[in-house]
């Protein structure tokens, strides 16, 4: 019996049952029995004692003896019954006998009480064990019976269990492990009509399910593999025609079709769609069909009439299935002799953006087409849709790439592309011209070879800075820097740099222009300009300068004042005017002579001219001995201060003037006027104000400054 | 006649007939009352064969009667209920004085008397020593065991012992044996019947006056011829071995003629003073 181990729990149960029965229940029961027997005998004694009592009271000892005799006789287990009177006299039995005490003997004493007085007691020696013995034997028999029968039951139970449950289950488990390994054909055990039958049935279902599912998975796997295949071919194989061919072959195999085609949807000038055939099964049967086939390879076959079964999918944008197409093949665009269409499926192809990119047509599947069989291959349709798109874009890309390449190659300016390490990646022909290098000499070199040495160092730092801080002076603007030609010649070039980030790749594109010629021209121009400017100044100077002193003349003053008023109006600023003249100049001239007078004027003008160095300030000779200073953007206070400075300077000069009543040297009187002009203000207004201030200064004693603000400052 | 009418006539007839006293019909049935010395069954067992024999012998019809206890029995015979009665000698005196019962046969082979027993090792040797002591007796009116001894204690010995009535003779002996009483009263017959354990440990202290034993007595209403017939029948039975065996069970060892004068001695004892009513 192989299942011996299944007996173990039962043996265990039985063993514990036996132990429990024997060591716990039995003794407990025996104890109980002894107890109850004892109680029983006690009760008997009590009952006897009642009767005994009455006999005792009446003194009828014969009755007593008869009764007790019969009691002793009837109770085999009662070894002796003794009736004692309170005074110790034994009334029964006649003669005293002492039985040896033993463990099995219990003594029951019962007092005889009448009217609450103890008359004596009955003492019964009983061998309780003998009373219990028969019961005990019965129990032991019972115990044995229970154990034996449970043993038997166990044996039978386990045997039956084995036969009807374990064995079939074991077979079932073997079958299931085989199935788990993939062996689906393993036969399942036959069972008689028990509960296991249902189990086996279900198991069968499961097995079939698993098989079916495995098949499905394999098919799915196959489909996925073919999609991966297609996609990898797209990436690696250059020949698109071959890729399309493979695609179609896979499709035919998966859909069990005989022939089919893949086409790309295109739009003509009128925006009408037509189908450009990318690949078609080669079932050419004659020369015309062979020609057609060849035109496909060349990419020249287009089906422009799509209003038929073939183009239905393109029009409706949905799967078209016809398992009994009754259609004229010629109307589809197929040539004469084309094999009959027994079943047809047209599937539109969409790219990831849900745009129609093409279609697939399949024909003559073994068992026709169903919605399910088409939708099963959904991932292929998606893949093809995307692939058509991708191919298309690849074409465009390569076209564009070529176009861009041409632009770069034909650019007039030099185009250099470097990476973030400064390695030259692109060096177009124009750059070749400019730098005198061949493309191959520069590609993969560091850009620094094109720079003069001092820049090369700086550049290195610059790049580092740029990467760290994201700021490079050159980027985003054009700068004039020096480049170095192959022969070491340094030249000026205009460079504009742009950063090109594609993904994680950072490239920098520089457009370089040799401006050495321009530079030369520029410098020439500058020189000419300088000369011209100088000449211009000279010219200007002649008309605006005072011949004697060299400062601005009256004409200049007037013009300047006008424009300064206009400016001050515009700016809303203050305009000040100082007017001063030499005190008693006529006397000077008379005493010292006109030549000396001219010299005096010149000296004065020269020394004062030093004071007014601010941009915009103008010192001018207003009249014979009159001077004026225009101070734009100057308020009265500041202008007054200036006037004082002038006054002080002339004091310091201390040109002797013997004939001046004011001082022994040349002195001047100054008048200061300021205003904020508006559009109505005229130059003469300001002049008048300043003049008035000068008049006040003169009238107050000469050799002083007088401001139109009526502040009198003493000399 | 309708069925229901017939039924009515029969019923009436039957009732009328049953109302006729029985004596008018068959022969007279004589009641024999037996003193309830033993229990009813034993009494019946003893007397039924004897009566049968009597019937055979006399051609008369007899019926056994009895009463549940002695006081009842005494009442019955004092009322003359029984035609014939078997009773103890004292009862005879009483029955004779009240109804005129006369004895016809008795056991002539033995005498009736009581014995006083003490424990073998008892210090008591004389009746006089029992004065004030406790004596066990079966029942106060038991003729030999109690009535005669009590009368004699008082009249003959002038002692006044205490009595305890312990229901049976055996009880008396046990009481004495177990030291519950100083002495006990019984009869030789019952004493001999005791187990050796008992009788060997007791000693007969005293024997009372011996008197004639139980007679069979007849009521005066019975024809003297009938009485004679019965007497003869008894005597005849006594002679037959088989019948004698029956009679021994009464107990009558040796059945003989009984005279009233046989009981004079008893009469003179003055037992009626000590009879407990």
- Which of A59, A89, A95 minimises the CB distance to B166? A59
pLDDT at site A241: 80
Residue from B174, B180, B194 to probe the interface with A (highest A Cβ count within 10 Å): B174
pLDDT band at B27 (very low <50, low <70, confident <90, very high): low
- Which of A58, A60, A89 minimises the CB distance to B178? A89
Higher pLDDT, A194 or B153: B153
Higher pLDDT, A234 or A82: A82
| DSSP summary character for residue A99 | P
Residue (of A277, A283, A291) closest to A258 by Cα position: A283
Q: Give yes or no on whether B27-110+212-273 and B115-207 have one common fold.
A: yes
| pLDDT at position A245 over 90 | no
Distance from CA of B75 to the nearest CA of A (A): 26
Question: Which structure tokens are listed for A582?
Answer: 């030499």
pLDDT at site B188: 92
pLDDT at site A184: 66
pLDDT at site A270: 87
pLDDT at site B191: 92
Q: Could you give the CA distance from residue A453 to residue A514 in angstroms, rounded to a whole number?
A: 18
Give pLDDT tens digits for A318-373. Answer: 888 888 877 777 777 777 777 888 888 899 988 888 888 888 989 888 888 888 88
Residue (of A226, A232, A259, A262) closest to A244 by Cα position: A262
In this structure, the dihedral spanned by the alpha carbons of residues B207, B212, B215 and B217, taken in order and rounded to 10 degrees, is -130
Q: Could you give the CA distance from residue A386 to residue A398 in angstroms, rounded to a whole number?
A: 18
Determine whether the interchain pair B170/A91 forms a contact, defined as Cβ–Cβ distance below 8 Å.
no
Q: What pairing do the DSSP bridges indicate for beta strands A78-85 and A90-92? A: antiparallel
pLDDT at site A626: 92
| End-to-end alpha carbon distance in chain B | 64
pLDDT at site A186: 65
Question: To which residue do tokens 């200007």 refer?
Answer: A540
Domain covering A411-520 in this structure, CATH number:
3.30.450.20
What is the percent of chain A where pLDDT is above 90?
A: 15
Residue from A61, A91, A120 to probe the interface with B (highest B Cβ count within 10 Å): A61
Question: Which structure tokens are listed for A99?
Answer: 């039985």
DSSP A538-562: HHHHHHHB-TTT-SB-HHHHHHHHH
CB A652 within 8 A of CB A601: no
Question: Which structure tokens are listed for B188?
Answer: 């030789």
pLDDT band at B19 (very low <50, low <70, confident <90, very high): low
Determine whether the interchain pair A59/B164 forms a contact, defined as Cβ–Cβ distance below 8 Å.
yes
pLDDT at site A622: 92
- CA-based nearest residue in chain B for residue A62: B171
Q: Could you give the CA distance from residue A298 to residue A295 in angstroms, rounded to a whole number?
A: 5
Q: Could you give the CA distance from residue B98 to residue B272 in angstroms, rounded to a whole number?
A: 13
H helix or E strand, kind and range, residue A532: helix A516-544
pLDDT at site A497: 83
Q: Could you give the CA distance from residue B240 to residue B222 in angstroms, rounded to a whole number?
A: 26
| pLDDT at position A506 over 50 | yes
| pLDDT at position A380 over 50 | yes
Give pLDDT tens digits for A515-536. Answer: 888 888 888 888 888 888 788 7
Rg of chain B in Å (alpha carbons) = 23
Determine whether the interchain pair A60/B177 forms a contact, defined as Cβ–Cβ distance below 8 Å.
no
Question: To which residue do tokens 């009494």 refer?
Answer: B43
- CA-based nearest residue in chain B for residue A54: B166
Options 3.30.70.270, 3.40.50.970, 3.40.50.300, 3.40.140.10; CATH for A545-713 is: 3.30.70.270
Domain spans of chain A, in order of start: 4-136, 222-398, 411-520, 545-713
Determine whether the interchain pair B174/A58 forms a contact, defined as Cβ–Cβ distance below 8 Å.
no
Determine whether the interchain pair B170/A65 forms a contact, defined as Cβ–Cβ distance below 8 Å.
yes
Instruction: Provide the 10 A C-beta neighbour count for residue A40.
Output: 14
Q: How many helices (H) and strands (E) does chain B have?
A: 11, 11
State the average pLDDT over residues A376-400.
84
- Which of B136, B169, B177 minimises the CB distance to A59? B136
Residue from B137, B138, B175 to probe the interface with A (highest A Cβ count within 10 Å): B175
Give pLDDT tens digits for B217-274. Answer: 999 999 899 899 899 989 999 898 888 888 888 888 888 999 999 999 898 888 888 8
Kindly state whether A82 is in contact with chain B, defined as any CB-CB distance less than 8 angstroms: no
pLDDT at site A463: 62
Determine whether the interchain pair B177/A94 forms a contact, defined as Cβ–Cβ distance below 8 Å.
yes
pLDDT at site A99: 67
Q: Could you give the CA distance from residue A15 to residue A24 in angstroms, rounded to a whole number?
A: 13
pLDDT at site B215: 93
Determine whether the interchain pair B168/A63 forms a contact, defined as Cβ–Cβ distance below 8 Å.
yes
Question: Which structure tokens are listed for A342?
Answer: 């027994």
Give pLDDT tens digits for A440-451. Answer: 999 998 888 888
pLDDT band at B118 (very low <50, low <70, confident <90, very high): very high
Per-residue three-class SS string for A213-275: HHHHHHHHHHHHHHHHHHHHHHHHCCCHHHHHHHHHHHHHHHHCCCEEEEEEEEECCCCCEEE
pLDDT at site A194: 64
Instruction: Provide the 10 A C-beta neighbour count for residue B255.
Output: 23
Determine whether the interchain pair B169/A59 forms a contact, defined as Cβ–Cβ distance below 8 Å.
no
> Residue A6 region, left (φ>0) first, then alpha (ψ -120 to 50), else beta?
alpha
State the average pLDDT over residues A617-638.
91
**Is A489 known to be catalytic?**
no
Higher pLDDT, A597 or A285: A597
Residue (of A95, A158, A99) closest to A127 by Cα position: A99
Tell me the chain A residues in contact with residue B197 when contact means C-beta distances shorter than 8 Å.
94-95
pLDDT band at A469 (very low <50, low <70, confident <90, very high): low
- CA-based nearest residue in chain B for residue A94: B178
Q: Dihedrals φ, ψ of A146, to 5°?
A: -60, -45
Q: How far is CA A188 from CA A185, A277, A445, B115, in A?
A: 9, 55, 76, 109
Among the listed residues A340, A441, A625, A692, the single catalytic one is A625
Residue (of A691, A683, A674) closest to A633 by Cα position: A674
Q: Could you give the CA distance from residue A118 to residue A102 in angstroms, rounded to a whole number?
A: 29
Q: What pairing do the DSSP bridges indicate for beta strands B162-165 and B134-137? A: parallel
Kindly state whether A54 is in contact with chain B, defined as any CB-CB distance less than 8 angstroms: no
| pLDDT at position B187 over 90 | yes
CB B166 within 8 A of CB B195: no
Q: How far is CA A400 from CA A276, A405, A411, A427, A702, in A?
A: 22, 8, 16, 19, 89
pLDDT band at A714 (very low <50, low <70, confident <90, very high): very low
Give pLDDT tens digits for A43-66. Answer: 888 888 888 888 888 888 888 888
Highest mean pLDDT among A110-119, A446-455, A508-517, B142-151: B142-151
Range with the poorest average pLDDT among A157-171, A414-428, A499-513: A157-171
Tell me the chain B residues in contact with residue A95 when contact means C-beta distances shorter than 8 Å.
197
Q: Could you give the CA distance from residue A293 to residue A81 in angstroms, rounded to a whole number?
A: 134
Give the 3-state secondary structure of residue A322.
strand
Tell me the chain B residues in contact with residue A68 when contact means C-beta distances shorter than 8 Å.
none
Domain covering B115-207 in this structure, CATH number:
3.40.190.10
Kindly state whether B194 is in contact with chain A, defined as any CB-CB distance less than 8 angstroms: no
Determine whether the interchain pair A62/B164 forms a contact, defined as Cβ–Cβ distance below 8 Å.
no
H helix or E strand, kind and range, residue A195: helix A195-236
Kindly state whether B136 is in contact with chain A, defined as any CB-CB distance less than 8 angstroms: yes
Q: What mean pLDDT, rounded, does chain B reach?
A: 88
Q: Could you give the CA distance from residue A448 to residue A455 in angstroms, rounded to a whole number?
A: 8
Give pLDDT tens digits for A664-701. Answer: 999 999 999 999 998 888 999 999 999 999 999 999 88
| pLDDT at position A456 over 80 | no
H helix or E strand, kind and range, residue A482: strand A478-484
pLDDT band at A242 (very low <50, low <70, confident <90, very high): confident
Q: Could you give the CA distance from residue A310 to residue A293 in angstroms, rounded to a whole number?
A: 17
pLDDT at site A313: 83
- CA-based nearest residue in chain A for residue B170: A62
| DSSP summary character for residue B141 | T
What is the percent of chain A where pLDDT is above 70?
A: 93
| pLDDT at position A130 over 80 | no
Kindly state whether B196 is in contact with chain A, defined as any CB-CB distance less than 8 angstroms: no
pLDDT at site A201: 80
Tell me the chain A residues in contact with residue B164 when contact means C-beta distances shorter than 8 Å.
59
pLDDT at site A120: 86
Distance from CA of B193 to the nearest CA of A (A): 13
Determine whether the interchain pair A94/B180 forms a contact, defined as Cβ–Cβ distance below 8 Å.
no
Kindly state whether B197 is in contact with chain A, defined as any CB-CB distance less than 8 angstroms: yes
Kindly state whether A62 is in contact with chain B, defined as any CB-CB distance less than 8 angstroms: yes
Residue from A52, A57, A60, A68 to probe the interface with B (highest B Cβ count within 10 Å): A60
Kindly state whether B198 is in contact with chain A, defined as any CB-CB distance less than 8 angstroms: yes
pLDDT at site B120: 92
- CA-based nearest residue in chain B for residue A58: B166
Q: Give every CB contact of residue B185 below 8 A, 6+ residues apart in sequence.
A: B114, B115, B116, B117, B135, B136, B137, B138, B142, B145, B146, B149, B172
| DSSP summary character for residue A339 | P
| pLDDT at position B203 over 90 | yes
pLDDT at site A79: 81
Domain covering A222-398 in this structure, CATH number:
3.30.450.40
Determine whether the interchain pair A62/B171 forms a contact, defined as Cβ–Cβ distance below 8 Å.
yes
Kindly state whether A64 is in contact with chain B, defined as any CB-CB distance less than 8 angstroms: yes
pLDDT at site A464: 57
β-bridge mates for residue A133, sequence order: none
Question: Which structure tokens are listed for B27?
Answer: 């022969």
Interface size A-B, in CB pairs within 8 Å, comes to 49
Question: Which structure tokens are listed for B138?
Answer: 């079966």
Kindly state whether A95 is in contact with chain B, defined as any CB-CB distance less than 8 angstroms: yes
CB A484 within 8 A of CB A512: no
Give the 3-state secondary structure of residue A610.
helix
Tell me the chain B residues in contact with residue A62 when contact means C-beta distances shorter than 8 Å.
166-174
| DSSP summary character for residue B19 | H
pLDDT band at B1 (very low <50, low <70, confident <90, very high): low
Question: To which residue do tokens 């130059």 refer?
Answer: A683
pLDDT at site B104: 93
- CA-based nearest residue in chain A for residue B194: A62
Determine whether the interchain pair A95/B177 forms a contact, defined as Cβ–Cβ distance below 8 Å.
no
Distance from CA of B173 to the nearest CA of A (A): 8
Question: Which structure tokens are listed for A556?
Answer: 């200049």
Q: Give yes or no on whether A4-136 and A545-713 have one common fold.
A: no
Q: How far is CA A623 from CA A554, A620, B73, B81, in A?
A: 7, 9, 205, 210
Burial state string for A194-232 with b = 16 or more CB within 10 A and e = fewer than 16: eebeeebeebeeebeeeeeeeeeeeeeeebeebbeebee
pLDDT at site A471: 47
Q: What pairing do the DSSP bridges indicate for beta strands A505-514 and A575-582? A: unpaired
Rounded to 5°, angle at Cα A452 from A447 and A454:
105
- Which of B165, B171, B197 minimises the CB distance to A61? B171
pLDDT band at B24 (very low <50, low <70, confident <90, very high): very low
Domain covering A4-136 in this structure, CATH number:
3.30.450
| DSSP summary character for residue A421 | T
Residues 153-182 of B with CB under 8 A from A: 164-175, 177-180
Give the 3-state secondary structure of residue A647.
helix
Q: Could you give the CA distance from residue A422 to residue A430 in angstroms, rounded to a whole number?
A: 20
Q: With 0-12 CB in 10 A as exposed, 13-18 as middle and 19+ as buried, what is B233?
A: buried
Q: What pairing do the DSSP bridges indicate for beta strands B102-107 and B255-257? A: antiparallel
Q: Could you give the CA distance from residue A331 to residue A346 in angstroms, rounded to a whole number?
A: 16
Options 3.90.1150.10, 1.20.120.1200, 3.40.50.2300, 3.40.190.10; CATH for B27-110+212-273 is: 3.40.190.10
Domain spans of chain B, in order of start: 27-110+212-273, 115-207
- Which of B165, B171, B173 minimises the CB distance to A63? B171
CB A301 within 8 A of CB A292: yes
Give pLDDT tens digits for A218-238. Answer: 888 888 888 888 888 877 877
Rounded to 5°, angle at Cα A666 from A665 and A668:
135
CB A343 within 8 A of CB A366: no
């Amino acid at each position: 019996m192989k299942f011996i181990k299944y007996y173990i729990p039962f043996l265990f149960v039985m063993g514990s049952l036996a132990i429990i029965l024997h060591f716990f229940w039995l003794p407990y029961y025996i104890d109980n029995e002894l107890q109850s027997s004892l109680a029983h005998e006690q009760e008997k004694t009590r009952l006897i004692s009642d009767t005994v009592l009455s006999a005792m009271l009446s003194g009828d000892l014969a009755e007593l003896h008869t009764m007790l005799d019969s009691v002793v006789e009837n109770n085999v287990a009662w070894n002796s019954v003794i009736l004692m009177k309170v005074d110790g006299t034994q009334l029964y039995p006649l003669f005293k006998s002492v039985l040896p005490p033993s463990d099995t003997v219990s003594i029951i004493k019962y007092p005889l009480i009448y009217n609450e007085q103890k008359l004596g007691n009955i003492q019964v020696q009983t061998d309780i064990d003998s009373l219990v013995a028969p019961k005990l034997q019965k129990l032991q028999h019972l115990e044995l019976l229970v154990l034996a029968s449970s043993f038997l039951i166990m044996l039978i139970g386990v045997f039956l269990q084995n036969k009807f449950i374990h064995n079939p289950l074991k077979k079932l488990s073997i079958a299931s492990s085989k199935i788990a390994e993939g062996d689906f054909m393993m036969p399942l055990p036959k069972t008689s009509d028990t509960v296991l039958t249902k189990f086996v049935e279900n198991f069968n279902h499961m097995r079939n399910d698993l098989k079916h599912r495995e098949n499905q998975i394999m098919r799915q796997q196959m489909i996925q593999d073919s999609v991966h295949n297609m996609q990898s071919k797209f990436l690696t194989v250059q020949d698109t025609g071959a890729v399309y061919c493979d695609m179609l072959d896979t499709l035919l195999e998966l859909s069990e079709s005989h022939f089919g085609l893949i086409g790309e949807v295109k739009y003509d000038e009128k925006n009408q769609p037509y189908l450009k055939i990318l690949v078609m099964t080669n079932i050419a049967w004659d020369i015309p069909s062979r020609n057609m086939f060849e035109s496909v390879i060349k990419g020249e076959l287009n089906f422009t009439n799509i209003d038929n079964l073939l183009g239905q999918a393109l029009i409706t944008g949905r799967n078209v299935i016809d398992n009994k197409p009754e259609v004229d093949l010629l109307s589809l665009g197929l040539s004469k002799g084309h094999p009959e269409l027994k079943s047809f499926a047209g599937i539109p192809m969409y790219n990831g953006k849900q745009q129609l990119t093409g279609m697939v047509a399949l024909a003559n599947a073994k068992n026709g087409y169903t919605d399910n069989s088409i939708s099963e291959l959904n991932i292929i349709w998606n893949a093809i849709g995307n692939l058509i798109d991708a191919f298309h874009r690849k074409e465009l890309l390569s076209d564009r790439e070529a176009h861009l390449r041409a632009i770069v190659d034909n650019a007039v300016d030099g185009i250099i592309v470097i990476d973030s390490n400064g390695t030259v990646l692109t060096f177009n022909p124009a750059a070749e011209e400019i730098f005198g290098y061949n493309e191959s000499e520069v590609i993969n070199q560091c850009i620094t070879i094109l720079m003069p040495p001092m820049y090369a160092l700086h550049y290195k730092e610059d790049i580092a800075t740029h990467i760290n801080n994201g700021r490079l002076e050159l980027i985003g603007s054009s700068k004039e820097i020096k480049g170095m030609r192959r022969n070491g010649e340094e030249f000026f070039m205009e460079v504009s740099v742009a950063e090109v980030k594609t993904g994680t790749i950072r490239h920098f594109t520089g457009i370089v222009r040799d401006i050495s010629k321009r530079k030369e021209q520029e410098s020439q121009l500058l020189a000419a300009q300088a000369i011209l400017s100088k000449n211009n100044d000279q010219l200007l100077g002649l008309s605006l300068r005072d011949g004697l002193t060299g400062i601005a003349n009256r004409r200049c003053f007037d013009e300047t004042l006008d424009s300064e008023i206009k400016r001050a109006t515009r700016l809303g600023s203050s305009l000040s005017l100082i007017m001063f003249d030499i005190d008693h100049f006529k006397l000077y001239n008379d005493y010292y002579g006109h030549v000396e007078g001219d010299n005096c004027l010149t000296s004065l003008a020269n020394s004062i001219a030093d004071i007014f160095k601010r941009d915009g300030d103008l010192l001018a000779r207003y009249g014979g001995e009159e001077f004026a200073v225009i101070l734009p953007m100057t308020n009265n206070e500041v202008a007054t201060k200036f006037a004082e400075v002038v006054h002080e300077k002339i004091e310091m000069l201390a040109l002797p003037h013997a004939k001046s009543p004011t001082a022994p040297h040349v002195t001047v009187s100054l008048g200061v006027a300021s205003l904020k002009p508006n559009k109505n203000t005229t130059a003469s207004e300001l002049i008048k104000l300043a003049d008035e201030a000068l008049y006040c200064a003169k009238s107050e004693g000469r050799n002083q400054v007088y401001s139109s603000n009526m502040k009198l400052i003493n000399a | 006649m309708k069925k229901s009418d017939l039924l009515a006539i029969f019923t009436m007839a039957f009732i009328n007939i049953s109302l006729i006293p029985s004596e008018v019909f068959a022969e007279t049935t004589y009641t024999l009352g037996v003193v309830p010395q033993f229990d009813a069954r034993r009494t019946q067992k003893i007397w039924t064969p004897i009566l049968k024999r009597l019937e055979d012998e006399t051609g008369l019809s007899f019926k056994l009667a009895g009463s549940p206890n002695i006081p009842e029995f005494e009442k019955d015979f004092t009322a003359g209920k029984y035609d014939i009665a078997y009773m103890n000698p004292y009862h005879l005196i009483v029955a004779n004085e009240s109804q005129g019962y006369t004895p016809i046969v008795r056991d002539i082979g033995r005498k009736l008397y009581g014995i006083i027993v003490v424990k073998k090792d008892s210090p008591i040797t004389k009746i006089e020593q029992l004065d004030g002591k406790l004596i066990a007796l079966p029942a106060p009116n038991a003729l030999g065991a109690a009535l005669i001894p009590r009368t004699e204690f008082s009249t003959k010995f002038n002692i006044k012992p205490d009595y305890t009535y312990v229901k049976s003779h055996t009880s008396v002996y046990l009481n004495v044996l177990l030291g519950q009483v100083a002495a006990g009263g019984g009869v030789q017959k019952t004493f001999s019947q005791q187990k050796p354990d008992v009788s060997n440990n007791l000693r007969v202290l005293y024997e009372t006056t011996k008197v004639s034993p139980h007679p069979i007595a007849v009521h005066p209403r019975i024809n003297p011829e009938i009485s004679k017939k019965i007497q003869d029948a008894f005597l005849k039975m006594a002679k037959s071995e088989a019948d004698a065996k029956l009679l021994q069970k009464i107990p009558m060892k040796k059945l003989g003629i009984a005279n009233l004068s046989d009981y004079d001695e008893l009469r003179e004892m003055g037992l009626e003073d000590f009879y407990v009513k």
